[in-house]
Each structure stands twice: as structure tokens, then as C-alpha cells.
Amino acid sequence: MKYIWKVAAGLICTCILFLQVSPAYAGEIDDFIIVEENLATSTKKNPVYTQENVKNGIINIPSGTYHTITVSYNLKNIVMNLDNVTVNDRIILFGSNKKKATIVVSGNTKIGTIFTKRNLTLIDSSEKRHVGTVEVKGTNTNININAVTKSVLLLRDSNGATVTVNKNCKSINDLGTENKIITYAPVNKVNITGENSSFTALENVTNTFVSGYGNRVSIKCNVFGNITSSGAKTLIVGQTENNKPIDMKGIEITGGSYMLIRKEQLCAVTDSRTDAQKVSELVNKNVLFIGDSFIERLYTRGLLKTNMAALCAYGSAPSDWYLDGQKHLDYFNELLYYNPDKIVYYYGVNAIYDANNEEYSERLLTDLMGRYPSATIYVQKIFPLANNSSGVGQYDYDDYNHKAEYSIDRYNTELEQFCKKYTNLVWCDTTAEFLDGNGDLKRSKTVDGLHLSTEACKEWMNAIKKIIKE
């Protein structure tokens, strides 16, 4: 009981603090406080709604004009009904993201600001009223906006909120991190200054400003106005209805941002904007190479054409794409910047002695098919070691290539069988011209018994291009 008294007293003091910074309006009731116990009113004679006035978590606010409505109620689910109610300052809903709150507005109702950490659903039936600002704090909060808001949805200090906007919202301001916003209604302005958030527009958006790191913006509508992005590793995906062309005018992309648009939707660029040229160049990179040092040597020797890109690392393996059994986002997030028609896959030699090597490779190929369902993935047979090479790990070259329990031959056989299960996986044997009579890598084709020489890299690249028809 003492604890509840202290909380309630703190709430009243908080409301009084709001009064000091917000002007009062003629005829308004100072504050309306909804608490869980029968407490005395404050010194300002604010009305207090007690437990006996709340039936099964439903709170009916009497018609009138209020400065602030504060709700401190411990139920998991509360419903507030506001009919012909004006709240000049704000509604404060205390509680964590483990609790829900539904606000239903009707009649001539106007609300300045709704502040909450709860999971909130805002419902507006007749669209005759408006809510000024919905301000969200806390972690992993779910917000559903089914009401007309003529001002701002503000995500401040919010982490991992999921927001769905179903009716008109004037602007969305995301200052938090890792928030997910999807809007089915027109929005005049979107400002994403936080980090690692995603915004998806399925209706017209007039202006979109992105400055945070690692955000993803998906525009899936015919009209989206201006897009300005200066956030590092920000991805903007354009996809219009019915594959209509996207007008590149009004798009400014700087600071390491990228924009992906399907080629059939990219209309002619009539001006000489540098950012539009960069977008056009990125769209045309329709072949993505993924792999280890073998792919890296193709890239560093300038053998990739202008329509090709590479995600590769020396000494890497399929298992590097996973951390503690889950997708390693440092790797998978890089895929967001590419939308290839063809993928060239070369992985496996660096972890050939790992009993889970085939499993990780098959898992990565499955995830790549999920990420790029319309792309063809060309899975390359990996090269064996050369005779008299030093070998890798505990094996000599003969064991490593052919005889060991987890050999290169075994890996290639397992992966070839896996590829036969899927129509968009193509098994590619480009190794034949590089092998001797024993099925080992020719010494003339390698610099160290493992990696291909520069001339051999050129030959291998030509063989790959013939298969992928590039």
C-alpha cells in the first residue's frame, strides 16, 4: 500500500510539472488521474477516478475538456472510451510493453499527445476528430494506428517498436532504434534519424528523409514524392504497383546509402544527376559472387565485369554466416544492398575437415534461395589441392582431396546431390581443365598448391561466364 501511495504521489507531481510548462485553457479541468486505489485528490482538487469507476478494465472518460489525463492502472488490458472529449495537453498511459491499452475516440474528440510504453491500439470510427501526437517510448512496443492523426507519430528513445498505420498520419518521426513501421495510409513526411529501423510505405508518401545508420526503407506505391538519404548503409527499395516506372527525379542519395529498383521499373533519367547515375549503376549489378579467397582473387584481379559484385573474404566458410545457430546479421545485412538475377557460389574448402561443413553450406544456399527466390544460384564445384602440396590441417593432399572421411570429393558429391533437389540451384563443374590424371589440381595452375594463379583465375572466370551466359 505504501508503494502505491508513493507512485500515485509521483504521478500527481508529474502532472503538476506538466502544468508548469503547458498553458491552461479556459473551462478545462486541470488533470484527470486514474489510479488503482481510492486516494485523496491533489491540492489542486483534480478529479481522481478510482477502482470502483473502472469496470473490467474499461474506462469511460466523461465528456469535457481536460488538460492532462493520467492512467496508472496495473491491469494487463485497459480500454479508454473518449466521446466528445478534448485533452489539450496529453494522455499518459503508464505501464510496460507487456501490457495493452486501447483508446477509442468518437464524437468531437481531440487529443494533444498520447504518451505510452504500453502496446497501444488507437481506434477512430467516424474520422471527425484528430490526435496531435502519438509518442512512443520503451522497448518492443506494438502500436496500431486506426485513427486520423493530423500531426506526428513520434518514436523517441524507442527500441524495437512495431508500428502499423492504417489511417492518415501527417508525419512519422523515428528517433529510436530498430523500429519497424509499416503504413497503409498516405503520409506527408517521414523522418528517420534513428538507426537500424525499417519503414515500409504501401500508400503515397510525399517526403522521406533518412539520416540514421543501417535503415531500410521500402517504397511499394506509385507515388512517393521526394526521397533524401544521407545515412550510411541505408537501403531504399523502390517497387511500384504493376511494375510502373519510377521517376528518379527528386531522389538524393549520399553518405553511403543505396537504392534498389527492378530494372523494368527504372525510367529514363532526363537530367545529369550524379545520384541517379549511381542508382542506375547499382541496379545493373545483376550478378553477385559469394565465397572465399577463390572469389576474392577474381575480384582483386579486376576480373568482374561492371554488372557484377562480390561478397567474399579470405579464409571464410559457410559457417561464418551463422552465430550461435542464428543468422549472423553482419553477413546477411550485406545482402540487402543487392538484388541479383544470378549468384555464383563458391564455398567449402576452408572447413573441409568440419563435420558440419556440408550442412552449413546447404543451410546458406537455402537462405539465399529464400532471400532471392527468383535468382538462379550457380554452385561451383570446389578445386582439390595440388600434388605435393603441404595439405591443410591434419591431412596431406591425398587425404584432403580423396581419402579422408570429410574430403573435398565427399563435399562436392554431397553438394551436387543437394542442388538436384531445387530448380534454381545449378551445379557447375568448371574444374576439369585444371586437374591432372589423378583428379588433383595441376601444379601449373596454382601458386601455393591451393589458390589459382592469375592466369588460371582468368581461365576459370571465362569458364564461369560461359555457364552463366555473361
Complete DSSP assignment for 380-395: EPPP-PBTT---STT-
DSSP code, position 268:
P
Same-domain pairing of 175 and 63: yes
The pLDDT confidence band at residue 157, using thresholds 50, 70 and 90, is confident
| Residue 433 pLDDT | 93
Q: Is the pLDDT of residue 110 over 70?
A: yes
Same-domain pairing of 24 and 135: yes
Side-by-side strand order, sheet with 58-61: 58-61, 77-83, 100-106, 119-124, 142-146, 162-165, 180-183, 198-201, 216-219, 235-238, 258-261
| Residue 358 pLDDT | 92
- CATH number for the domain that contains residue 327: 3.40.50.1110
Same-domain pairing of 27 and 139: yes
Q: Can you give the pTM of this predicted structure?
A: 0.52
The pLDDT confidence band at residue 67, using thresholds 50, 70 and 90, is confident
Same-domain pairing of 10 and 92: yes
Q: Is the pLDDT of residue 431 over 50?
A: yes
Coil, strand or helix: which one is 337? helix
User: Poorest-confidence range of 13-27, 179-193, 386-400, 412-426?
Assistant: 13-27
Higher pLDDT, 21 or 464: 464
User: Under the phi-then-psi rule, with left for phi > 0, alpha for psi from -120 to 50, and beta for the rest, what region is 27?
Assistant: left
Same-domain pairing of 299 and 230: no
Same-domain pairing of 268 and 294: no
The pLDDT confidence band at residue 229, using thresholds 50, 70 and 90, is confident
Q: Is the pLDDT of residue 454 over 80?
A: yes
Same-domain pairing of 158 and 297: no
Most confident among 186-195, 324-333, 448-457 (mean pLDDT)? 448-457
Q: Is the pLDDT of residue 369 over 60?
A: yes
Most confident among 392-396, 424-428, 445-449 (mean pLDDT)? 424-428
CB atoms within 10 A of CB 56: 8
Give the residue from 216, 248, 280 where a domain finishes.
Answer: 280
Report the percent of the chain where pLDDT is more than 70.
72
Most confident among 157-161, 201-205, 281-285, 422-426 (mean pLDDT)? 422-426
Encode pLDDT of 174-200 as tens digits.
888 888 888 888 888 888 888 888 888
- β-strand 198-201 against 308-312: which pairing, if any? unpaired
Q: Is the pLDDT of residue 280 over 60?
A: no
Q: Is the pLDDT of residue 362 over 50?
A: yes
Q: Is the pLDDT of residue 376 over 70?
A: yes
Give the residue from 280, 296, 312 where a domain finishes.
Answer: 280
Amino acid at the residue 45: K
Secondary element (H or E) of residue 70: strand 64-71
The pLDDT confidence band at residue 337, using thresholds 50, 70 and 90, is low
Structural domain boundaries enclosing 95:
2-280
Same-domain pairing of 183 and 291: no
Same-domain pairing of 275 and 294: no
Mean pLDDT of the chain, nearest integer:
76
Higher pLDDT, 27 or 245: 245
Same-domain pairing of 191 and 66: yes
Same-domain pairing of 266 and 306: no
- β-strand 322-323 against 326-327: which pairing, if any? antiparallel
CB atoms within 10 A of CB 359: 13
Angle of the 408-419 helix axis to the 357-371 helix axis, nearest 10: 30
Q: Is the pLDDT of residue 407 over 50?
A: yes
Q: How far apart are CA 238 and CA 254, in angstroms?
A: 16
Same-domain pairing of 143 and 270: yes
| Residue 2 pLDDT | 30
Q: Is the pLDDT of residue 5 over 50?
A: no
Give the residue from 280, 310, 339 where a domain finishes.
Answer: 280
Q: What is the mean pLDDT of residues 418-435?
A: 95
| Residue 232 pLDDT | 74
| Residue 248 pLDDT | 60
What total of structural domains would you count in the chain? 2
